Amino acid sequence: MIEFIFATHNPNKVVEICSLLGENMHIISLDEAGLYEDIPEPYDTIEANAGEKSSVIYRLTGKDCFSEDTGLEVDSLHGAPGVHSARYAGPQKSAGDNVALLLQNMLGKKDRRAQFRTVISLFLHGQEYQFEGISRGAITLVPSGDNGFGYDPVFIPDGSDHTFAEMDLNEKNKFSHRAKAFSKLYAFLKEKS
Ligand code: IMP
């Protein structure tokens, strides 16, 4: 059994990653590890923030761990909100405010192409490895669906007619950036073992 601390305080991410685990892998959440401190996201790239989150937890615990950072990158907004996705509409980090601002900034835009991009940073025996997962799709005109979190109600992945928020988790995992990045991590660990 391989055991990793998952360096996030976001319960939605924990649920999604746990739904992807095989039988030989166990995830310890930060709460379970007794780590309640805020994890900084000080950098201006998704890669650097992912690395910062896992290295903070590695330095605190000395244990194998991973983190992930995700951004929504909209083509017609030159990649925004990108690394600033969580605080797009302000420090309150409100999903509703973020979605409303996104739709407002896209008013009148014909090109609604976008992608979610996840970078997972793994610390294994003190060395860092990164894995990227991308889900291409489009931003809807209005939010739809109650499942998921964040920008899920306004994103339809290529190959589907439904927003992520209209899908159950199994369905989202077939398309999602997070599932793609995690499957690369999984393949890497399998090769190593
Ligand atoms: P972070 O990776 O926690 O910094 O998340 C960045 C922002 O993207 C937050 O506003 C999240 O709610 C949002 N986000 C991250 N992953 C997803 C996802 O899978 N679907 C929708 N929104 C997401």
Q: Higher pLDDT residue, 176 or 191?
A: 176
CATH T-level fold of 2-192: Maf protein (3.90.950)
Please check whether residue 173 is in contact with residue 19, taking contact to mean a CB–CB distance below 8 angstroms: yes
Report the percent of the chain where pLDDT is more than 70.
100
Q: Is the pLDDT of residue 39 over 90?
A: no
Residues classed as catalytic: 69
Q: Is the pLDDT of residue 48 over 90?
A: yes
Confidence of residue 106 (pLDDT cuts 50, 70, 90): very high
Confidence of residue 111 (pLDDT cuts 50, 70, 90): very high
Residue 145 burial by Cβ neighbours in a 10 Å radius (0-12, 13-18, 19+)? middle
Confidence of residue 19 (pLDDT cuts 50, 70, 90): very high
Q: Can you give the pLDDT at residue 22?
A: 81
Q: Is the pLDDT of residue 23 over 90?
A: no
Question: 116: CA distance to ligand 1 center in Å?
Answer: 9
Structure tokens that stand for 108 in this block: 């009148």
Pocket test for ligand 1, best of 20, 53, 70, 144 (most atoms within 8 A of CB): 70
The rounded distance, in Å, linking the Cα atoms of 53 and 139 is 28
State the chain's mean pLDDT as an integer.
95
| Number of CB atoms found within 10 A of residue 91's CB | 7
Question: 187: CA distance to ligand 1 center in Å?
Answer: 24
Confidence of residue 192 (pLDDT cuts 50, 70, 90): confident
| Distance set, CA 115 to CA 29, 77, 102 (Å) | 27, 12, 14
